[in-house]
Chain A
Amino acid sequence: EAAVTQSPRSKVAVTGGKVTLSCHQTNNHDYMYWYRQDTGHGLRLIHYSYVADSTEKGDIPDGYKASRPSQENFSLILELASLSQTAVYFCASSDWGGSSYEQYFGPGTRLTVL
């Protein structure tokens, strides 16, 4: 069974603080993604990666950095958290171009910035 896990599942951060969200996949997929979900906006792509040690900007990268130290791990970093970054964050992985094009999602991290 394909598996994407995220940690922490929820977090409260202070404005201006640093936040790191972690994602781990056991699917052996090359592609990994970070999305944020806000009410009424669906999911929006922040960063993605198709190979270790390389990341790409998605549609809303401002205020976020990403790190892909290995095929299995992908982190999202908020260097200076802001109120507007309160959202639910989802990680996903995909075997794009391989056996399928679908993405497998983690359970999400609920981030509240105060």
Chain B
Amino acid sequence: AQSVTQPDARVTVSEGASLQLRCKYSSSVTPYLFWYVQYPRQGLQLLLKYYSGDPVVQGVNGFEAEFSKSNSSFHLRKASVHWSDSAVYFCAGANTGKLTFGHGTILRVHP
């Protein structure tokens, strides 16, 4: 069975700082991987996705993620965060028509 782990429940950074949110996945086959963002009292919005090919994928609003098969990881990065990036970020994996979500990381950006 597939599992997705986000080891950091909360991350706090200052505006303008760089960001990395960690995600580890466990699967017997290379899954399809996603990062979603959830703003307060809203649904989930897709930030980026990885299916195959170039391990670094670009997403919306300056986010990118790097897939590593050797480390079973799909970490999310941003070079310079803005206060409006404060939200909950979910990593998810899928390989049988269903998504398995991590528990989410709450990101707080100090203005």
**Residue B57 at the chain A interface, CB threshold 8 Å:** no
* Inter-subunit contact A103/B99 (CB<8 Å): yes
**What is the size category of the interface that chain A forms with chain B?**
20 to 34
* Inter-subunit contact B49/A41 (CB<8 Å): no
**Residue A13 at the chain B interface, CB threshold 8 Å:** no
Total A-B pairs, Cβ < 8 A = 51
Q: How far apart are A32's CB and chain B's nearest CB, in angstroms?
A: 11
* Inter-subunit contact B102/A102 (CB<8 Å): no
What string of 1s and 0s marks CB contacts (under 8 Å) between A43-80 and chain B?
Answer: 11100101000000010000000000000000000000
Residues in chain A near residue B42, CB distance under 8 A: 107-108
**Residue B17 at the chain A interface, CB threshold 8 Å:** no
With the chains together, A81 CA to B46 CA distance in Å?
31
Residues in chain A near residue B100, CB distance under 8 A: 45
* Inter-subunit contact B104/A42 (CB<8 Å): yes
* Inter-subunit contact B43/A43 (CB<8 Å): no
Which residues of B approach A to under 8 Å, CB–CB? Answer: 9, 32, 34, 36, 41-46, 49, 51, 90, 94, 97-104
Which residues of A approach B to under 8 Å, CB–CB? Answer: 4, 31, 33, 40-45, 48, 50, 58, 90, 92, 94, 96-97, 100-108
